[in-house]
Amino acid sequence: MDVQLAPTGTYINVLITVYMAIGIMIGFVMAIPGYLSRVMTSLLGPLMGTSSVLWFVMRNDEAVKPRFAWIVFGIWSAVYLMYLIIQTTKVAYDKLYILLALAFGGVCLFIVALVQKASIQGGLVTAIPPCASFAAYAIAFCFPARRRAVHLTAA
C-alpha cells in the first residue's frame, strides 16, 4: 500500500494566501504601465504647449546656448508628433483633423508674419512651435469623439 500524506487545511490556506499575494503583485506590475501611459497621454497637450513656449523664450534669449534651444525644439517635435498620433485615434475624422490642424497652423504663422518685427532672433522659425501647438490643440476641440466599436458576442 502507498502511504501519502494529505495536506492539511492550514497548509492549503497558506498556499492560497501566497498565490493570492503573488497574483496581486503581478496585477500591480501589469497595471502600472497602463496607468502611466494614460497619465502621459493626458499630459501631452500641456507638455506640447509648455515646450513650444520654452523654445520661443530660449530662442530669443542670447544667454541660452543655441544647442539647448534646439534640444528643446527636438523635444517639442517629438511631443507634437505623439500628440497628433494620439489625437487621430480619438477624433472621428482623423485625416480631416490633420489637414485642418496644419492649415490652421499655417494661418497662425501667416498672421504672425504680418505683425512680426524683424528684431526677433531666428525670424519665423521661432514662431513655428507655438503656432503649430495652438492649432493642434484648438482644432481638437472642434472634432467629435470617435465612436467606440461595440463587440457583441452570441450567448
DSSP for residue 130:
H
User: Is residue 26's pLDDT more than 90?
Assistant: yes
User: Is residue 120's pLDDT more than 60?
Assistant: no
26 vs 117: CA distance, rounded Å: 59
User: Is residue 29's pLDDT more than 80?
Assistant: yes
- Number of Cβ within 10 Å of residue 118's Cβ equals 5
Which of 4-13, 98-107, 108-117, 118-127 has the largest mean confidence?
A: 98-107
pLDDT given for residue 154 in this prediction: 63
98 vs 119: CA distance, rounded Å: 32
User: Is residue 50's pLDDT more than 60?
Assistant: yes
pLDDT given for residue 9 in this prediction: 61
Domain residue spans of the chain: 44-141
Pull the grid cell for residue 118. Answer: 524683424
Residue with the bigger pLDDT between 84 and 154: it is 84
pLDDT given for residue 119 in this prediction: 56
Give residue-wise pLDDT tens across range 123-133. Answer: 677 788 888 88
User: Is residue 22's pLDDT more than 90?
Assistant: yes
Longest dimension (CA), the chain: 100
Are 137 and 84 a contacting pair, CB within 8 Å? no
- Number of Cβ within 10 Å of residue 74's Cβ equals 11
151 vs 19: CA distance, rounded Å: 33
Predicted structure pTM score = 0.68
Give the side-chain half-sphere CA count within 13 A for 136: 26
Mean pLDDT across the chain: 81
Q: Map grid coordinates 523635444 to a residue.
A: 75
pLDDT given for residue 23 in this prediction: 92
